Chains A and B, each alone.
Chain A
């Protein structure tokens, strides 16, 4: 351990000034991360940070120790910046086990909000799959379990609701992506007592604005936005252009924050779950959960700007 050196007043002022300058020059490395903006889960009132963490592709690194540690570092940065929800699925290869590895390295952060899925065509094998997933994560119980892509939802959903009633999961939901089966999603939202719905939403994929988002508000269902960057394609595309100067009005310092702030500023959206394999990116993404969020006028401006690129 380094010996504690008493600081003179002048040295202290110097250090503070240098830190402030560093924070201005490198806003991302600003010393103390501010806590993220949160929104309530309508069914309980529990608040969640508006940016979470996805794990499709990025966390499927098998048993590669180097890549596993990189994922753990992403998770560490995520929690340090106030993140809570991590989303995964048995469909994502080794991602669940890699998350489990990260959680162990991080001493099982109490902030974790674990969101996983059931993805199997046989209803009777759902409980076994959930148990396997739980073992991979190494947690006592999931916070949220969702029926992945509505696969065999007629069987899984009643089972998940029974698990919730028995206290073996806290919330229940359904998922889809890229605009698939929205009518069925709406029907389930209208008739089933679900807490969450997960759908694709980003500045270019906005189909859910017309029916699903209003329905979620009406029925008190939390909304998770997946594929916020269209699996990276969208961000690679916009990054070829200059970030507009007015992005600073919504506190967006980069394209990732510009795109994420659009998503999470919709009143019906609870959070977005961007996936990343890079610490710098998770820090950027969590930054979208701080500072001002665009209002309705600004949201229209963002959408028009990106559409025009």
Chain B
């Protein structure tokens, strides 16, 4: 793209906010009452995190991978693609994340969870509760009505935020690989919502910033501690 610096976010916005939220509304109408199942899975994830055990970690990743694959196919490829030609690429990105979650989290068990009371632990649980419990309420709170609610496991934004929250609680050196796609999504969707003037943009950007900030400060602490003294 030539003269790329002359473009702004709004140059890439292909649809009006009304069309975007109606796309979610019509999708909700088709997949209802599947929402009960995905929110149920979100609650199950929270419950599984309660006590550390390898099988629990693997189950959490399997659930999460299934939901990323579902969002890729049911929402991005089949619905969002009708108004955004780039959605097909996003669908592949989500499918890739599902694959990574299965490979790294469920099969190899290279990342695990343990309850923690530090900042990362509190933020992680906070983001999970926010995306599963509070995110669907944003639509009615912001005056768009329940039909346009964005539900965890059904649409990308709360699914990505919940995944970031979970990864804050996770341990294992491969964890960062699983952060890449959710962070990319926060940037993409954050820019779209920004161009549409939707306040949810701040939630996505904040979640991404918190995760990056917390992880970086942790890396810095570990590096500082492990540096040879004197």
Contacts and interface: CB of A to CB of B under 8 A. Distances in A.
A63 interface: yes
B6 A180 contact: yes
B14 A92 contact: yes
B105 to A, nearest CB: 34
Contacts of A94: 82-83
A60 B3 contact: no
Interface in A51-98: 57-58, 60-64, 66-67, 91-94
B19 A67 contact: yes
Given A58-B16, A92-B14, A93-B15, 6 more contacts: A60-B83, A64-B23, A64-B26, A67-B22, A93-B83, A231-B10
B3 A57 contact: no
B85 interface: yes
A57 B16 contact: yes
Given A93-B84, A93-B85, A61 B6 contact: no
Contacts of A91: 85
Interface residues of A, number: 19
Nearest to B80: A62
**Which of A58, A66, A67, A180 has the most CB atoms of chain B within a 10 A radius of its CB?**
A67
Q: Which 8 A-B pairs rank lowest in CB-CB distance, beginning with the nearest?
A: A62-B82, A62-B83, A93-B14, A60-B15, A180-B3, A61-B19, A93-B83, A63-B82
B2 interface: yes
Interface of A is mostly: loop
Interface of B: 2-3, 6, 10, 13-16, 18-19, 22-23, 26, 82-85
A94 B84 CA distance: 8
Contacts of A178: 6
Contact of B3 (A61, A181, A231, A277): A181
Contacts of B3: 180-181
Contacts of B22: 64, 66-67
Contacts of B15: 57, 60-62, 93
B54 to A, nearest CB: 44
B88 to A, nearest CB: 12
Nearest to A61: B19
Interface in A215-273: 231
A40 B161 CA distance: 56
A62 B80 CA distance: 9
18 contacts: A57-B13, A58-B16, A60-B15, A60-B19, A60-B83, A61-B15, A61-B83, A62-B19, A62-B82, A63-B82, A64-B23, A64-B26, A67-B18, A91-B85, A93-B82, A178-B6, A179-B6, A180-B3
